[in-house]
Amino acid sequence: MSKQEKIGRGHPPVHRQFGRGQKRASGRPKGALGEKAIVQKIAGELHEIRERAQVTTYELLLKTMRNLAMSADLRAAKWLSDYARRKIPDPDDGVGFLVVPETMPEKLFIEQMMLRNRFATNPELNEDPLFASDPLQNRSARD
């Protein structure tokens, strides 16, 4: 069988074969991140802003684009409207979406819950007339 007859999968044409000393490229090295993983990592980073809050890169990008659009930047306004059209389904299409809270670090979750609990009222105290929300009603009821 000559070299001309061995053509097809596993037998490339002679002019396409690797020469002496050449070898195939090794591809992406082990542990290297792809574009999707890099974008997810960057979008999930937390940043401190002047309002003394931590926001992700993704939220910071959206806030920046909103601020640019509000300052009459037409490109930012067009980008925001295109983004909203892609991300938010039209209710007339009969399509809905599910909102799922994102995962957050345990420390941040605890801080948020402690802040909520600080301003929450105990449901047991709502039944006690001394701790009712409107003191004028309680005074008239006692008199």
Of 57 and 102, the structure prediction assigns the larger pLDDT to 57
pLDDT tens digits for 9-65? Answer: 778 888 878 778 777 777 888 888 888 888 888 888 888 877 777 888 888 888 888
Give the pLDDT confidence score for residue 115 in this predicted structure.
Answer: 87
Query: Encoding tokens for residue 65?
Result: 């684009």
Q: The whole model's pTM is what?
A: 0.36
- Which uninterrupted H or E stretch holds 47? strand 46-48
Mean pLDDT within 74-103:
78
Kindly compute the dihedral angle of the four CA atoms of residues 77, 78, 81, 87, in this order, to the nearest 10 degrees.
-120
Look at 24-33, 77-86, 98-107, 126-135 and tell me which has the smallest mean pLDDT: 126-135
Mean pLDDT within 116-135:
66
10-47 as b/e: b if 16+ CB within 10 A? eeeeeeeeeeeeeeeeeeeeeeeeeeeeeeeeeeeeee
